[in-house]
Amino acid sequence: MNKLVATDIFKAFKTGAYHAQVLSDISIDIIQGETIGIIGSSGSGKTTLLQILAGLEFPDSGEIFFNDINLSINNAKQFSIMRNKLFGYTYQFHYLLDDLTVFENCNLVFQISNSKDINKNSKKIFETLHELGIDKLQNNYPYMLSGGERQRVAIARAIVHEPMFILMDEPTGNLDHENADVIQDLTIKLAKDHNIGIMVATHDLNYAQKLDKVFRIENGGLVSK
Ligand SMILES: Nc1ncnc2c1ncn2[C@@H]1O[C@H](COP(=O)(O)OP(=O)(O)O)[C@@H](O)[C@H]1O
Ligand SMILES: [Mg+2]
């Protein structure tokens, strides 16, 4: 079973004389197919932890491993090589590009990874949109979509390339109760159906309790719930 492991992660942000220790000695791991929730008050470091796990932010010390491969060495060269295979990422604010259709937003992932098999990629996008119940919206632009639909597109974009892990930053943070519930169940179903490890930062305790494991960031440390 493939595993992503973070060991002894420390991270501080320094702005001028101000030094904020955000993460202090955090270790966590996730295997494929597992769903993990990261909770904690606003500013506690949830986003920072997800960014570090994806290699989008670098810790002051500590390392990230994929199985036995240390992703953090050689200026994170391994991260660049393996990021696309390993990760999908959804942001709190959906970050769809307004000038691109739903289909084109999803196709960006393949363009970035220089994947040129257009037929295969298109088929995969259609299948994914269908699975998420938004295939009829493929030619629509983001402004034409509801909040819940946009979040589904963001999730589709995170999984079309079949990553092993998805890191989700407050995927239901801006949705009403009903839509949040649907997205929560959808993400959990995706994890189980596709054997994807999902780590989700959330404020929503209702979401957290549906996940396999939950940790709270408290004073920079990780507490198991
Ligand atoms: N790039 C940055 N520069 C300076 N401070 C930052 C930066 N990113 C995050 N922080 C600070 O780190 C702390 C944790 O932020 P964040 O990880 O976004 O928390 P959360 O996602 O739990 O709300 C906050 O105090 C935030 O202001
Ligand atoms: Mg955050």
pLDDT of 79: 85
Q: Is the minimum distance from the CB of 202 to ligand 1 under 6 angstroms? A: no
Q: Is the minimum distance from the CB of 16 to ligand 1 under 6 angstroms? A: no
Number of C-beta neighbours around residue 105 at 10 A: 25
Rounded to 10°, the helix 102-112/118-131 angle is 130
Residue pair 174/13 in contact by the 8 Å Cβ criterion: no
Measured between alpha carbons, how far is 152 from 168 in angstroms, rounded to an integer? 12
From residue 26, alpha-carbon distances to 12, 50, 53, 166 in Å are: 13, 12, 11, 19
Q: Is the minimum distance from the CB of 175 to ligand 1 under 6 angstroms? A: no
Domains of the chain, residue spans: 3-224
Candidate of 26, 48, 53 to mutate for ligand 1, largest count of ligand atoms within 8 Å of Cβ: 48
Q: Is the minimum distance from the CB of 11 to ligand 1 under 6 angstroms? A: no
For the chain, list residues with pLDDT below 50: none
pLDDT of 5: 97
pLDDT of 19: 87
Name the residue among 35, 39, 33, 71 with its Cα closest to residue 54: 71
Q: Is the minimum distance from the CB of 13 to ligand 1 under 6 angstroms? A: yes
Question: 3-224 maps to which CATH number?
Answer: 3.40.50.300
Q: Is the minimum distance from the CB of 15 to ligand 1 under 6 angstroms? A: yes
pLDDT of 95: 86
pLDDT of 83: 86
Candidate of 10, 38, 47, 203 to mutate for ligand 1, largest count of ligand atoms within 8 Å of Cβ: 47
Q: Is 30 exposed, middle or buried (0-12, 13-18, 19+ CB in 10 A)?
A: buried
Q: Which helix (H) or strand (E) holds 217?
A: strand 213-218
Measured between alpha carbons, how far is 128 from 143 in angstroms, rounded to an integer? 21
Report H helices in the chain: 46-53, 73-86, 102-112, 118-131, 147-159, 177-194, 205-208
Q: Summarize pLDDT for 142-169 with one digit per residue, the tens.
A: 999 999 999 999 999 999 999 999 999 9
pLDDT of 113: 84
Measured between alpha carbons, how far is 210 from 37 in angstroms, rounded to an integer? 9
- Return the ligand number nearest the Cα of 22: 1
Using alpha carbons only, what angle is made at residue 129 by residues 124 and 134, rounded to the nearest 5 degrees? 165
